Structure 1
Amino acid sequence: MSSSDLLTKAEEVPGLWRNRDFRKLWGGQTVSLLGSRVTELALPLTAIVLLDASPAQLGLLNAAQYLPVLCVTLLAGVIADRARRRPLLIGANLGRAAVLTLVPLLAWTQGLSIGALCVIAFVTGVLTAQFDVAYQAYLPALVPKEQLVEGNSKLQASRSVAETAGQGLGGALIQWLTAPVAILVDCLGYLVAAAALLRIRTPEVRPVRAARTSVRKDVAEGLRVTLRSRLLRVIMFHASWYNLLWDVVLVVFPLYGIRVLGLGPAGLGGVVAAGSIGALGGSLAAGRLGARLGVGRAMVFGMAVASAATLLLPLAPGPGATGIAVLVAGYVLNGFGIAVFNIHSITLRQATVPGHLIGRVSATFRFVTWAVIPAGGLLGGLLATVFGPRTALLVTGVGLGVGAVVFVLSRTAKQS
């Protein structure tokens, strides 16, 4: 089914507000995402406040959270294509709730250590990797193809709200309850999400395998299908380029904001939070943009806006009202554009990849596009050291802009 067919039929089908099972999935995931933002803040604060963690130990804790993406994502795709996805989602939520409960228990019994936190972070990351892959593969079984854009838009909106409100909620809960106890809020969110998934009544058919194959062959098939499709290959490699350079921004911008522009921590946090507000706007506008431009053109438009917006960051004149307005505009437009790109990119995979392969294709995308992130951090440190933060951001913005031009000229929009 082409993207134009999807959008035409979407206008003829009642909205997902009337789909009870989707509302259960959406509501549970929204609560879970809010809790996850609390834990993102509470885990390092637990290490700092209770264990007096050193910078090296905090780096180790961060690595433990990230490593599962590289270690288990491709295997998670195989599992998602061999089993029903809803039980995987329920199991991942229950598992994360159980594992994170260990943090307050160990804190109360004086058994908490940096090593224990790293193990908990790693296991939670493994379960999250499985959840994220199975989650994208499950949505097409729950909603019609012509409503995938709407479904992904609503889910992206929840993620944007969680990004904006979750850190503030986390800070208040940690101040009030202490970091280990605040993690129990995340556990409760996972239990709510699991209960919502248990109440879904839409039947799910187990993926059909043509023949029993090894894990290695299944992983290879997912890679082969992704790389042989010109459309999927171009989208994946451009998303990787974006992630590589956006991580440069994540590393350099705090230095730029604090040391060059003289923003305080509160001002810096407010500017960064504007990106989530832009992402919320992008998630709300994605459906209309897709209807007007087509899914492919909307995706390319989103990436062009997100990339061009980064060029505003090094143009900020200082910490005054004008400088902050320029920075906020850059982050809002970036958040808007990348939300539009992500929604339509995911929708295209869900609509065009056969059901028995979508788990592995989604895992391949996640693996490749995230594998470049550590290199982006190193590149950011190098550029800031050699050229200074402002020039490093300018070089990065130009790099993102060049990548966007290549993406626009790749005929991806016409293919999709």
Structure 2
Amino acid sequence: MADWHEISGGVTAPRGYRAAGIKAGLKPSGLPDLALILSDVDAIASGVFTTSYVKAACVDYCREQLQKKQVTRAILCNAGQANAATGEQGMRDAIESATLLAKELQISPDLVLIASTGVIGQRIKMDPLRSGIPKLVAALSETGSDNAAGAIITTDLVTKSISLETTIGDRSVRIGGIAKGSGMIHPNMATMLGFVTCDAAVSPHLWQQMLSRAADRSFNSITVDGDTSTNDSLIALANGQSRTPAITEMGAEAEKLESMLTAVCQHLAKAIARDGEGATCLIEVQVTGATDEAAARQVAKTIVSSSLFKSAIFGHDPNWGRIAAAAGRAGVVFDQEQLRIQLGNFLLMDHGQPLPFDKGAASAYLKEIAEPYTAVAAGNGKPQSVNNPVVVKVSLGNGKGTGKAWGCDLSYDYVKINAEYTT
């Protein structure tokens, strides 16, 4: 049983944080497009960023800042323009964005981190941003997380937010997070943004280690379409305002904090996968029996990344052959005579041999899960829980390695959305 419970508040649930989200005029749609998360005091900051060689200016800017020192106060995010592949002027725009916010907050520019999302090749619309920053700062609130979550999304159908609370020593500790992402999502980070706040006191090196491991078990274990983005950023702050003793090395308290951090990241990652462009269902692939955790995750990610498998799930076709084929090409050594595949409660293969099963009932299982998601996409339903996925269980043998990955099906609407993205 988890050592924490869910609370309300998102990134402003932890003590000492405020947030805001406004309409600055960056998006052609006129929807909210500028967000800010602010810690009232200096916070330890850690980050995980895209592995793409084509990176947005905000990614290079944040990496440079965090290499200098792992301390920050603010995260500024614009939506509408990715500011990627925009050359030297794009970097100057990024620096100016941070400088303008720092001046408005009356803090040093090196205490500001930035993020961007939107169309690649488009610079930030600086005039709306310049006029929007004072309004953004004025809108800061201890209950502003939902507004910030709404201002960072692009093609997302819903906002993504979570906050959890536990007890360390005799005091409560909270972690909150918001994220965006719907398309161009693939392991090793993707076109997603994730911002996490925490009120524990943690040493910089340990906080970075915790975040990197949490990212591997969450955001690096999701896929929507196999495309890694130029802008993906996961930034986590820890400001010590819970007044708990500083955690400086691994132990029981550090393990509890990391487990809660991982849970926050996994919730947000699954929400992104669930909200994949055109998706009708969330898929969770659970792999056991591998030699180690990394091998298990690799097989899980390969299966959930398979376009053939994702298409079959969209068509409510329990085609286990596509699962077996993806597992076999994952680059992980296993004995196919030990392969076991289960879809929901339907056992499809055991000891490498196909088994008879009720294909109609298995198809109905897939359709039943898809229906609520389809209603949301059509604007006729409420966001569905990330705890209602299509579940695929794969066993490779007797190894101790286990791992999970999450994704979504591949629908007609995905092609439509991305065929017309800039037109």
**Shorter chain as normaliser: what TM range?**
under 0.3
State the structure with bigger RCO (CA 8 A, min sep 6), 1 or 2.
1
TM-score, normalised to structure 1's length? 0.27
Structure having the higher helix fraction is 1
Q: Which structure has more strand as a fraction of its residues?
A: 2
When the two structures are superposed, what TM-score results if normalisation uses the length of structure 2?
0.27
